Amino acid sequence: MIVYVENIKNGKEFNQLSEAVGWGEEEKEVIEKALERTVFSISAYDEGKIVGYGRIIGDETKFLYIQDIMVHPDYQNQKIGSTIMNKLVDQIKEYKKVNPELRAYVGPSYGKEGFYRKFGFKTRTEMHLGEGMILADNDEIETKLWDWEEEIPEDGLEEIMDILKNDGVIIFPTDTVYGLACDCYSEKAIERIFEMKNRARNKPICVLTNSVEKMKTVATVKEKEKELIDKYMPGALTIILDKKEDTPPILTAGLNTIGVRIPNNEIALKILEQYPHPLATTSVNESGEAAGVDVKDFITTFDGKVDAIIDGGKTELQVASTIIRVEKDEIKVLREGSLKIEE
């Protein structure tokens, strides 16, 4: 029978277990010295033999850090690791009742993210702790993660429609970079995008759609502009058009124009075809950072902030779109991107 005991600080036992799980002398020395920083620990015993261990370090005022969860190789199938994690998380919740501002982390554990998610942890990048995962607060969003690289599931598509119709924010792939998107008429969702990107309110957000007809719901399309749309879209071209009066000012930063694009990506087009409105869409990154072209580029930042992330693999072009404006039938290139315009 496995017995769990709190706050045993026995360096000899600790070394016996770390040796059994294959840790080297250098690792054992560092970890043994760190025992003095432990604020809570759980040791698992089987007839007096230590077979599992886990601990919390921290200062109990700002952060707590789960470390050194070990299970003896002969006991891997007895759910000892899960029991230890449950007890550690329960203790953290007790600490947080006293100090709600406490944040709890686990370190980089590549390949173990699924295990930690079961206990409420989410991937994060924290300035002072580097990569790792953080215990989600109750007000954080449970982000849905889907892999659509091989197939677009109908039930998943329906759920995306529901998310967008209810002021949700999603991330999906395009031909250029990944897009952070919402219904272009949902001011609540657009505000969320500004907040999560730390984006200045004087920077407008473009819209993506699948047809000229839907474009015309937010902008006017003149003859020369229509020619360029027909020639280059779907594709990596964003064209600046005069906006319609009922287009939300928050979307255009108070300007009289709006950028529109039809992306050339199967997943993006499927979503845009199904949804009745254009989607307000901007690149997935915090302002000033590089735009994400692969889910791993932004998962630590946006997991827990958006309602859904759709993984479609690495984007094809990996460069933002070219932006143009037509003035007196002349094309002005406002930003050079992956598409070259023929004058």
CB-based contact 217:183 (threshold 8 Å): no
Q: Is residue 119 very low, low, confident or very high in pLDDT (cuts 50, 70, 90)?
A: confident
Element (H, E) at 32: helix 25-34
Judge if 130 and 148 occupy the same domain.
Answer: no
Judge if 104 and 159 occupy the same domain.
Answer: no
pLDDT for the residue 113:
72
Whether 319 is in a domain gets the answer: yes
Judge if 130 and 154 occupy the same domain.
Answer: no
Judge if 159 and 280 occupy the same domain.
Answer: yes
Tokens of 186: 């949902």
What does each C-alpha distance from 94 to 27, 40, 87, 97, 149 come to in angstroms? 30, 12, 11, 5, 41
Judge if 120 and 179 occupy the same domain.
Answer: no
Mean pLDDT (the chain) is 87
Show which of 88, 106, 135 is a domain's final residue.
Answer: 135
Judge if 188 and 322 occupy the same domain.
Answer: yes
pLDDT in tens, 183-193: 999 999 999 99
Tokens of 84: 């230890």
Tally of domains in the chain: 2
| CB-count exposure of residue 248 (10 Å: 0-12, 13-18, 19+) | middle
Strand partners, 44: 4, 52
Residue 66 has pLDDT above 90, yes or no: no
Residue 27 has pLDDT above 60, yes or no: no
Mean pLDDT is lowest, of 6-15, 117-126, 224-233, for 117-126
d(CA 237, CA 167): 27
Query: Domain range spanning residue 131?
Result: 2-135
Show which of 78, 109, 135 is a domain's final residue.
Answer: 135
State mean pLDDT over 16-38: 64
Whether 340 is in a domain gets the answer: no
Answer with the residue of higher pLDDT: 49 or 134: 49
Find tokens 């406490």 and name the residue.
Answer: 102
Q: What CATH number should be reported for the domain holding residue 51?
A: 3.40.630.30
Tokens of 196: 């999560």
pLDDT for the residue 127:
32
CB-based contact 14:31 (threshold 8 Å): yes
Residue 129 has pLDDT above 90, yes or no: no
Q: What CATH number should be reported for the domain holding residue 242?
A: 3.90.870.10
pTM: 0.64
State mean pLDDT over 94-121: 76
Whether 342 is in a domain gets the answer: no
